[in-house]
């Protein structure tokens, strides 16, 4: 699934920040744990991005050969997002991403 809504760039930046932070901890205080956790943390964000991209694609693109039922479900989902504050907030949180606390010292917190 190709990343949607700039998730590819965001995930790349997230990887760089996670790795930079892990390397900083390793070389500053000889703490290997962030390097050990790097793949798990990076993959967690990547799968969140994949889930969001799949949902965004399914929501915004008509499926070739899709049934009228599938199209009505798609339209219902879009309608729910625009009519339900809870659904809109959930979508917005997935779009922006969770707070990222593994950024290098001196940079601002980012959401990915």
Which one, of 104, 99, 111, 110, lies nearest residue 25 by Cα? 104
pTM for the model: 0.71
Instruction: State what percent of residues in the chain have pLDDT above 70.
Output: 82
pLDDT at 3 over 80: no
Residues 41-59: what's their mean pLDDT?
Answer: 88
Q: Decide: residue 102, CB within 10 A, 0-12 exposed, 13-18 middle, 19+ buried.
A: buried
Residues 39-55: what's their mean pLDDT?
Answer: 88
């Amino acid at each position: 699934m190709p990343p949607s809504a700039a998730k590819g760039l965001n995930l790349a930046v997230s990887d760089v920040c996670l790795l930079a932070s892990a390397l900083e901890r390793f070389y500053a205080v000889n703490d290997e744990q962030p390097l050990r956790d790097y793949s798990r943390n990076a993959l967690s964000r990547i799968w969140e991005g994949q889930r969001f991209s799949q949902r965004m694609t399914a929501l915004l693109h008509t499926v070739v050969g899709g049934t009228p039922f599938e199209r009505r479900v798609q339209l219902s989902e879009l309608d729910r997002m625009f009519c339900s504050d809870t659904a809109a907030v959930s979508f917005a949180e997935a779009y922006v991403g969770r707070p990222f606390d593994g950024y290098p010292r001196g940079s601002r917190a980012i959401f990915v």
